């Protein structure tokens, strides 16, 4: 038997089972330590129970010589633009099992699972310093699309006071009458990412930001016209901790160069800081040095590289 045949014989990639809990918990704890994140066992336990029952969530393990030593999560999510996309996260291989192709096998399994859904794109968060994992996705035609920027929130320094007036520009939370212009800016943002836009799903998903006190849309109102937007909400990581998430920062081309993006970012970060989250994440286009500089000047640092791949289903659903 060749070395490759022996490796395949000793390896099994399969769906997560409740008996795998301790092994997967240890792998996720390892990722939390790597990124200096918290780990909450109570919430992680609840999450794994939910994932086991959720047909749209795939949790996969790599078993080598009868021992679980790798995991990967695959999920579907619909963003405010109405696009349903797949996400691969928490790919981790125990140190003693690395170099045996388990990471590649888990990624293949996650991609195969997500291919069952009518999604237009698959995204994956990857440690920018993990060259081997970046290559695994590059070999599968993923390209570097975004940078996840992260900022820690110090509860003892207080929240920066934001000036809600800037000449003839007023910064405030969204109201129903703004949605037509907000929708137009989101449509423009989708075009920047070469993504689809589904107004039906936008109308449904945007209601969360009116009903959830931990989610807000902030707008820049210039003379009654909406010239800038930013979305802010609280999310929970599989490790169990809550974090703030800022997305969809968009300024109308006619209003750029007036610090509107900076002010919206500060307003969204201030809102999330008041909710006592330990950190805030935000996405920046991978090759947009100007936007990355904006975030860095506000104390954000590069945490993940987001790899993305278009699928055969090139359309919103």
- pLDDT per position in the chain (317 positions), as tens? 555 545 556 789 999 999 999 999 999 999 999 988 889 899 999 999 999 999 999 999 999 999 999 999 999 988 767 778 999 999 999 999 998 899 999 999 999 999 999 888 999 999 999 999 999 999 999 999 999 999 998 766 655 667 788 889 999 999 999 999 999 999 999 888 777 788 888 998 899 899 999 999 999 999 999 999 999 999 988 777 889 999 999 999 999 999 999 999 999 999 999 898 989 999 999 988 888 998 999 899 999 999 999 887 654 43
Supply the CATH number for residue 132's domain: 3.40.630.30
Residues 142 and 173 in one domain: no
Q: Which pLDDT belongs to residue 316?
A: 41
Check residue 95 and give its pLDDT: 93
Among candidate residues 147, 167, 189, the one where a domain is terminated: 147
In a domain, 7, yes or no: yes
Looking at the fold, whether 162 and 109 belong to one and the same domain comes out as: no
Q: State whether 52 and 114 are in the same domain.
A: yes
Domain assignment present for 223: yes
Same-domain pairing of 74 and 98: yes
Q: What pLDDT is attached to residue 86?
A: 95
Picking from 147, 180, 211, the residue at the C-terminal end of a domain is 147
Q: Is residue 317 part of a domain?
A: no
If we measure between CA atoms, which residue out of 50, 37, 39, 95 comes closest to residue 70?
A: 95
Residues 204 and 278 in one domain: yes
Q: Is residue 254 part of a domain?
A: yes
pLDDT at 164: 83
Among positive and negative, which fits the CA dihedral 201, 203, 206, 211?
Answer: negative
In sequence order, which residues have a C-beta less than 8 Å from that of residue 69 and are 6 or more positions away? 23, 27, 62, 63, 93, 94, 96, 97, 102
Indicate whether 174 and 225 sit together in one domain. yes
Rg of the chain over all Cα atoms, to the nearest angstrom = 21
Together in a domain, 249 and 158:
yes
Is the overall model pTM greater than 0.85, yes or no?
yes
The H-or-E segment that residue 102 falls in is: helix 102-114
Q: In terms of domains, do 204 and 139 share one?
A: no
Q: Are residues 66 and 50 in the same domain?
A: yes
For residues 281 and 150, is the Cβ–Cβ distance under 8 A?
A: yes
- Given 147, 175, 196, the domain boundary residue is 147
219 is a domain residue: yes
Does residue 313 sit within a domain?
no
Instruction: Quote the CA–CA distance of 225 and 197 in Å, as a whole number.
Output: 22
Q: Which residues are 221's β-sheet partners?
A: 170, 226
Kindly state whether residue 208 falls inside one of the protein's structural domains: yes
Count of domains for the chain: 2
64 and 181 housed in the same domain: no
In a domain, 315, yes or no: no
Domain that holds residue 257: 152-302
Q: Do 137 and 188 sit in the same domain of this protein?
A: no
Q: Considering only CA atoms, which of 96, 89, 99 is closest in space to residue 137?
A: 89
- Between CA 127 and CA 218 the distance in angstroms is 30
Let me know whether 206 and 120 are in one domain. Answer: no
Residue 7, number of CB atoms within 10 A of its CB: 14
């Amino acid at each position: 038997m060749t070395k490759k045949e022996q490796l395949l014989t000793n390896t099994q990639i399969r769906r997560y089972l409740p008996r795998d809990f301790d092994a997967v918990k240890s792998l996720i704890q390892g990722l939390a330590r790597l990124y200096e994140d918290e780990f909450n066992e109570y919430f992680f336990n609840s999450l794994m129970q939910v994932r086991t029952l959720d047909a749209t969530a795939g949790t996969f393990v790599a078993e080598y010589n009868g021992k679980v030593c790798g995991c990967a999560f695959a999920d579907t999510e619909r963003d405010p633009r109405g696009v349903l996309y797949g996400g691969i996260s928490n790919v981790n291989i125990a140190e003693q099992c690395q170099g045996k192709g388990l990471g590649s096998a888990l990624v293949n399994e996650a991609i195969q699972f997500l291919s069952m859904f009518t999604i237009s794109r698959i995204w994956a968060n990857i440690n920018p310093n993990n060259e081997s994992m970046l290559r695994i996705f590059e070999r599968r035609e993923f390209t570097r699309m975004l940078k996840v920027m992260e900022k820690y929130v110090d509860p003892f320094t207080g929240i920066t006071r934001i000036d809600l007036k800037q000449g003839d520009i007023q910064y405030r939370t969204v109201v129903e009458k703004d949605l037509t212009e907000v929708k137009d800016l989101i449509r423009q943002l989708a075009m920047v990412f070469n993504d689809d836009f589904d107004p039906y799903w936008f109308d449904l998903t945007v209601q969360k930001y009116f009903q959830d006190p931990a989610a807000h849309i902030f707008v820049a109102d210039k003379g009654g016209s909406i010239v800038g937007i930013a979305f802010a909400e609280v999310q929970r990581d599989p490790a169990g901790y809550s974090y703030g998430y800022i997305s969809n920062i968009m300024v109308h081309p006619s209003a750029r160069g007036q610090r509107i993006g900076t002010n919206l970012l500060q307003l969204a970060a201030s809102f999330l800081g008041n909710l006592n989250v330990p950190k805030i994440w935000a996405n920046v286009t991978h090759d947009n040095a100007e936007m990355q500089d904006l975030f860095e000047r506000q104390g954000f640092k590069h945490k993940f590289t987001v790899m993305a791949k278009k699928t055969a289903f090139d359309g919103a659903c």
